[in-house]
Amino acid sequence: MARQLDEQIVGRYPVGQRLRVLDVGMGQGTQALRLARAGHQVTGLEQDSTMVATAREALSAEPEGIRERMRIIEGDGRDTGVHFLPGSFDVVLCHGVLMYVEEPDPLLAGLARMLAPGGLLSLLVRNGDALAMRPGLTGDWAGALGVFDTTAYRNRLGLDVRADRLSTLTATLAGIGAPLQAWYGVRVFTDTATDDTEAPGDVETLLACEERAGRTDPYRGVAALLHLCGVRG
């Protein structure tokens, strides 16, 4: 997904331009730190205090120049208007968050308001059109049958969450003034791998396969996750 995001940034902004980035639901700060290291001014917003502590610890180990380019705020992604003025950011990330939000439209509208004209909104969501793939590929036939006609599912943490359909989000993005410009699949071939699966010897070839599949039909349509990129009009 990082390669996909970089592709969109490079295609939209001059090389070397320092961007204002907001990462909503930044988790432990992986993407936020990566972009700060690349020279961008990054703000991370996260409501989980444990994740905030982890991100701050990771940031403290970075060189001073990177620490100065990144700030971390503990808060709810639905309250962006409390913390920031409209149009304050060139890029807004919201990765792996929507599945935990029962009503995502207000959150998405708030994120779009944070974007400057021409700004990039990057979403990573669970693919509601492919929920049967994981149980089906692992032989859980009852589980596969149970999710064909729903967007609700139980994730690997045992939490009851929700997925999003591409068609629905496409309409939502158009409605909030940040229409979809590009979309990718994420975890096309590797979704059934467990957390303790050892990486193969040729990781670069695996990543090349995933990257190619993530931009190619019909493969991207059955990916576990969707990466959607909208642009503020």
Write the burial class of residue 102 (CB in 10 Å: 0-12 exposed, 13-18 middle, 19+ buried).
Answer: exposed
pLDDT at 195 over 80: no
Q: Are 52 and 46 in contact (CB under 8 A)?
A: yes
**End-to-end Cα, the chain, rounded Å:** 24
Residues pairing with 24 in the sheet: 45
Digit-coded pLDDT (tens) for 53-89: 999 999 999 999 999 999 999 999 999 999 999 999 9
Strand duo 89-95 + 180-186: pairing: unpaired
> What pTM, to 2 d.p., does this model score?
0.95
Question: What is the tens place of the pLDDT at every residue in 18-54?
Answer: 999 999 999 999 999 999 999 999 999 999 999 999 9
